[in-house]
Amino acid sequence: MDCALGDIAGNRASIRARLATAAGQGASVIVFPECSLTGYGFGSRAEIAAHAEPYPGPSAQIVAEDCARLGVWCVYGFFESAGTKLFNSCALIGPNGPEACYRKLHLPRVGADRFTDPGDRPMAVHDLGGLKIGLHICFDGGFPETTRILALLGADIAILPTNWADKAMKSATLTPPVRALENHIYFAAVNRIGVESGFHYIGHSSITDFAGESLGRAFHDREEILYADIDPAAARDKLIVNIPGDYEIDRIHWRRPDMYGPLLEGKVFEGHGAG
């Protein structure tokens, strides 16, 4: 979808309309892009603060009424105010009301992320009554550790609301199938379209299965709703048997954590951009 910078009422109306449309087509989990409630291209922390909401806040409560009436789950992106902090967040709303809020961990030097605070909560997986989902946002998807953690926590599908612009085509085309394949889970990347603050957003939302195969990809230049069926049992069966006994693969249970020490030591390559 497209959205308008700073127009919370208008963007919220668009979210609610699409929520009803998708629910009418049988969708039970409906996901919107990063910052779909607010837009992304703010030029200062003060501008973000003027359009941020607490969680749960007014929009969460309104969307919760729709989710209760429709019997669905919804994920949408927004800027969250929490005391003096401002986070790039996504809300998880269910039939019983607001359920969780994920705060973006990795912040690129672009758009509003230049002025927000890094996420301060551990990654988590949420059970929606038989389907376990893990949330992360945009640049988080560029770090294999984030999806791997969600997989280790039991996610059947990793959901990535995002704002990928022109320079991010490789992220849109390569990240979803690679993350899905290496973790044997489904992956939903939900991008926006349109032009905002000098950036052109490229669409190409996608849903990928646990084998890295596409279940659907959106266009780059118009609004569209993708639908796919998710089989949690298939995502949880990590053993891939190509030839019984002779060609089997398990990328989760056959890891070697005892050899992964550098991942936890905070070592950084001292090149351009370090620190």
In tens, the pLDDT along 212-266 reads: 999 999 988 899 999 999 999 999 999 999 999 999 999 999 999 999 988 888 7
Confidence of residue 23 (pLDDT cuts 50, 70, 90): very high
Chain-wide mean pLDDT for the chain? 95
Q: What are phi and psi of 264, to 5 degrees?
A: -105, 0
Which helix (H) or strand (E) segment holds residue 228: the answer is none
Judge whether 2 lies within some domain.
Answer: no
Q: Tell me which residues are annotated as active site.
A: 34, 104, 138
Evaluate whether 38 touches 11 at the Cβ level (below 8 Å). Answer: yes
Helical (H) or strand (E) element with 47: helix 45-51
- In contact, 115 and 45? CB cutoff 8 Å: yes
**Residue numbers of the domain that contains 206:** 8-264
pLDDT at 264: 83
Read off the pLDDT of residues 1-20 as tens digits, 9 standing for 90 and up.
999 999 999 999 999 999 99
3-state class (DSSP) for residue 79: strand
CA pair distance 54, 47, nearest whole angstrom: 15
The rounded distance, in Å, linking the Cα atoms of 186 and 192 is 20
pLDDT of 275: 52
Q: How many domains does the chain have?
A: 1
Cα–Cα distances in angstroms (integers) from residue 1 to residues 31, 98, 201, 202, in the given order: 11, 23, 10, 11
CA nearest to 198, candidates 110, 108, 104: 110
Percentage of the chain lying above the pLDDT 90 cut: 93
On whether residue 165 sits in a domain, the answer given is yes
- pLDDT tens digits for 59-114? 999 999 999 999 999 999 999 999 999 999 999 999 999 999 999 999 999 999 99
CATH code of the domain covering residue 149? 3.60.110.10
275 domain-assigned: no
Residue 274 lies in a domain: no
C-alpha to C-alpha distance for 71 and 64, rounded to whole angstroms: 10
200 inside domain: yes
pTM of the model: 0.95
What type of residue sits at position 170? K
Residue 138 in any domain: the answer is yes
